[in-house]
Structure 1
Amino acid sequence: MHIFFSGIGGTGIGPLALVAQQSGYSVSGSDKQASQYIDYLAKHGISDVTIGQSATNIAAAHSKNPIDWYVYSSAVAIEQPNHPEFAFCQANNIRMSKRDELLNEIITQKQLNLIAVAGTHGKTTTTALLVWALQQLNVPAGYILPAKSSFADMGACEPDAKYFVYECDEFDRNFLHFRPHLSLVTGIDWDHPDIFPTREAYYQAFREFIAQSDYNVLWQSDVNRLNRNPGEKDRVLSDTDEKMKLITLAGEVNRRNAWQVAQSINLLFAIPLDKSIAVLNTFPGVSRRFEQITLGLYSDYAHTTEKIRGALQIGQEIAGDNLVVVYEGLHNTRQHFIRDDLTHLFDAVKQLYIVPSYLAREDPSLELLTTPKLKAGLSEASQSKTTASALSNELRLAIQQHLAAGNTVLCLSAGGGGSLDEWLRQNFAS
């Protein structure tokens, strides 16, 4: 069977293409632009990728090798509902679905138990921690890891595995298409207002997801937030458990994530907590989660208020008062949503640079919050040390000067091609 993946360079679709390839499917795809992830796929045997998404291009792919199944991301459907690839597939009676339908089919065919990682923040890091720990503990598991790491491919379908680890994203209610054997819920805080117009709508989606799981590992604060009575198969963790201090990873959020992973492994496999903690304390990290680009310069995917707080806490744990931040917001729509939260968020940093937000899936009716406008919304304490900037030579020189002075520079960037993260790698990565 030939599966064509639209948006194959995305961190959700690309790893699924790897899993499909390893499951015996013929794989090809398309994307709007070239990227490091498409290069990564080519190195892993997926090179039949077209840059540019048009009816002509997909027709050529179909002519060369008839497409049986067209898989696309939620973002593609939202950004361009009249996408030319959609029209071609509809005209040629090609099966079309989002990624969840294909993954569910693979899980069902291979009789795998799904371990799902869900939550507003920390999903990718927690997924990586879980994959790392299972590897070190010799527990075979397939997985999709939507980030690069030194210890695992971005997607794998292990032949001897009985389990599959997957980051279940709430965006577009995608996670409600799965019925996990076990779910780790990393934390719940209202996000994606374009999908969930109220906090209660967001919470209700998580209630439904948790109800669909055989077992759940939850924080007490989230149980309280959802006003939910835990079931017999729920393991509820105290937010202030002193035993979390046994985990030596940098950052409170990373220690919480690792503790939840250790508890989940104990619940599923009866592996003692201390054994899991020992391997989790050697976790080498994952790309774009406080990833060091060069000495003293870090890139982090934080883009919601809680994620930003978590990244700042790690930065302050490392740098103390010498933390400089470069902020690139993800989506103009989200900047409107979190604008009030940004007011005092950066008060404790030494210097702040704001670069233009990364734009995608925008509401055209909303005013564009430019860098001067975002700066104007900050507290007086923050404004006095904030520069409205751009991805420019001036910013590059400023970062170099901060690094030379011994400061730690943390860049908050959640975009893809053309983002602050990509600019950093082009200008600073060795």
Structure 2
Amino acid sequence: MNLKHINNVFFIGIGGIGMSALARYFKFLGKNVAGYDKTETPLTQELTGLGIDVHYEDSVDLIPEKYRDATLTLVVFTPAVSVEHLQYQYFLNRDYQIKKRSEVLGLITKDTFCFAVAGTHGKTTTTSILAHLLKETNTPFTAFLGGISEDFNSNFVFEGNEFSVVEADEFDRSFLRLFPNVACVTSMDADHLDIYGDASELEKSFREFVAKIRPDGKLLVRNGLPLAGQTYGIDDGSDYCIENLSILNGTYLFDIRTPEGTLKNIKFNKPGRHNLLNGLVAFAMATNSGRPAKDLANALETFKGVQRRFSYKIKRQDFVYIDDYAHHPTEINAIYEAVSEMHPHKKTLVIFQPHLFSRTRDFADEFAKSLSQFDSILLLDIYPAREKPIEGVTSQWLLEKIDNPNKKRIDKTNLIKEIKQQNVDVLITMGAGDIGLEVAKLTKELENGY
């Protein structure tokens, strides 16, 4: 299909982080944009502020009149929406062009030089760093981000259309709709087993994605993953390798050895070696933009971050509050390691909201082990997202598996009370559900004294 012939774009699930980026894109192009989501959030409020018509009831009557012409309207939906959705069924039965978000991304990026970031962890941070590096070196690009970049204060960036930056999402095999020029794979840990069944099927899907790279393209792979491409890592002999790593006042200092030579005295301010690796692969990808490697490497120092990705909400000598999107055991381990590296010997309290019944069931023992590392644990109820409850899979069930006496299941309404009862140095909130909506309230309550 030719997107130039489309006047109207209607989104079912417009409030999702990836969907809202597409909505911004089409609004930027001057299209009519509207959509449905089940709840009002800061993201949907921002869309409304841009002049996008958003409603929160699944009613055919709420579809604006101009979107009832199937020849001029594109419908974009998220797989998280049920096939019984009334508006979805309306469009489905009337010969509309209906496409998943990933299909539309594929259409938008096919005529650009496409950078695609894949991996079960690190996609959003890596794409955000890559967008920052391209911006700092005056590269004409469009970026669709899976989080709110603190450098752009948005999940959509338009600086031109020669290059594109996208997340290659493995959920629902979405990334198989992309045909990148340069791609990376940051990780291949088992996840989304409700889609794939087992880890081998997930790995097979990543191999299919790699096969989509254009014939003259390039693949960058975290050292140790079972894929053939240029490798990146820390002190491990990778093609792109961080060496001479040290920390000074919370900032990483290091050299980058590349196939073309070594860049010295590079700085990066985001805590955690997982973030350092994200920065390294973003740099390695950006070198394919034709910009000087030294300029790209120097731009790493000014990257601010992504909301809910090891975000410091309070940072005092006596108390630190960090918020993160972590929702997989590997990600929780990475947060623990980063906290231990940047705030050694400090007493920690983690508040975790499990995301999805299926993920909690599939990785219960791993979740318990990763959470047990913190000094104290407060566990919220499981955030269901698109799922219905699974019998026996509850937060209390997970709590009983945690090998740490300082643990408790709590309700969100008691967060402040529970935090203030504990004498901790570092507070961490984690999860991919609606715990993110509590962060501003917690910050306000805690920043004036704790």
- TM-score of Structure 1 vs Structure 2, range by shorter chain: 0.7 to 0.9
* One of 420, 424, 429 as aligned partner of 2:439: 424
Q: Corresponding residue for 1:100?
A: 102
Shift in Å at residue 12 of structure 1?
Answer: 0.9
Shift in Å at residue 202 of structure 1?
Answer: 0.5
Shift in Å at residue 407 of structure 1?
Answer: 1.2
5 Å-filtered alignment, 1:196-207, equals 196-207=196-207
Q: 1:340 to 1:319 in 2, by over 3 A?
A: same
Shift in Å at residue 333 of structure 1?
Answer: 0.9
Letter in 1 for 2:221: L
Q: Corresponding residue for 1:29?
A: 35
Letter in 2 for 1:269: G
Q: 1:134 to 1:203 in 2, by over 3 A?
A: same
Query: d(CA) in 2 for partners of 1:290 and 1:208?
Result: 31
* One of 34, 40, 44 as aligned partner of 2:46: 40
1:72 and 2:72 matched: no
**Equivalent residue pairs, number:** 404
Shift in Å at residue 33 of structure 1?
Answer: 1.0
Q: 1:346 to 1:244 in 2, by over 3 A?
A: farther
Asked if 2 retains the 8 angstrom alpha-carbon contact of 1:124 and 1:167, the reply is: yes
Q: Corresponding residue for 2:366?
A: 341
Shift in Å at residue 244 of structure 1?
Answer: 7.2
* One of 210, 216, 219 as aligned partner of 1:216: 219
1:328 and 2:348 matched: no
Query: d(CA) in 2 for partners of 1:24 and 1:283?
Result: 30
Query: d(CA) in 1 for partners of 2:166 and 2:179?
Result: 12
Q: Which has the higher helix share?
A: 1
1:369 and 2:369 matched: no
Deviations along 1:371-405, one digit per CA (max 9) or x if unpaired, are 321111122xx1x0111111023x21232455xx4
Structure 1: runs of 5 or more not aligned: none
Deviations along 1:202-246, one digit per CA (max 9) or x if unpaired, are 001101111211211112211xxx3x4x3xxx3222453442721
Shift in Å at residue 104 of structure 1?
Answer: 2.5
SS of corresponding position for 1:125: helix
Shift in Å at residue 196 of structure 1?
Answer: 0.8
5 Å-filtered alignment, 1:133-172, equals 133-152=133-152, 153-158=154-159, 160-172=160-172
Asked if 2 retains the 8 angstrom alpha-carbon contact of 1:3 and 1:25, the reply is: yes
TM-score (normalised: structure 2) = 0.84
Asked if 2 retains the 8 angstrom alpha-carbon contact of 1:332 and 1:368, the reply is: no
Asked if 2 retains the 8 angstrom alpha-carbon contact of 1:354 and 1:388, the reply is: yes
SS of corresponding position for 2:146: coil
Q: Corresponding residue for 1:58?
A: 63
Query: d(CA) in 2 for partners of 1:242 and 1:71?
Result: 41
Q: Corresponding residue for 2:298?
A: 278
Shift in Å at residue 277 of structure 1?
Answer: 2.6
TM-score (normalised: structure 1) = 0.88
1:392 and 2:395 matched: no
Deviations along 1:19-48, one digit per CA (max 9) or x if unpaired, are 1222332211111110010112233x2331
Shift in Å at residue 157 of structure 1?
Answer: 3.6
Asked if 1 retains the 8 angstrom alpha-carbon contact of 2:70 and 2:94, the reply is: no
Query: d(CA) in 1 for partners of 2:338 and 2:15?
Result: 29
Shift in Å at residue 56 of structure 1?
Answer: 2.2
Provide the aligned C-alpha RMSD in A. Answer: 2.2
Asked if 1 retains the 8 angstrom alpha-carbon contact of 2:328 and 2:367, the reply is: no
Q: Corresponding residue for 1:315?
A: 339
Structure 2: runs of 5 or more not aligned: 1-6, 246-253, 255-266, 446-450
Q: Corresponding residue for 1:132?
A: 132
Letter in 2 for 1:391: K
SS of corresponding position for 1:139: coil
Query: d(CA) in 2 for partners of 1:49 and 1:66?
Result: 22
Letter in 1 for 2:219: N
Query: d(CA) in 2 for partners of 1:147 and 1:255?
Result: 18
Shift in Å at residue 349 of structure 1?
Answer: 1.3
Q: Corresponding residue for 1:292?
A: 312
Query: d(CA) in 2 for partners of 1:11 and 1:42?
Result: 15
Asked if 2 retains the 8 angstrom alpha-carbon contact of 1:23 and 1:157, the reply is: no
Query: d(CA) in 1 for partners of 2:71 and 2:323?
Result: 41
SS of corresponding position for 2:35: strand
SS of corresponding position for 1:264: helix
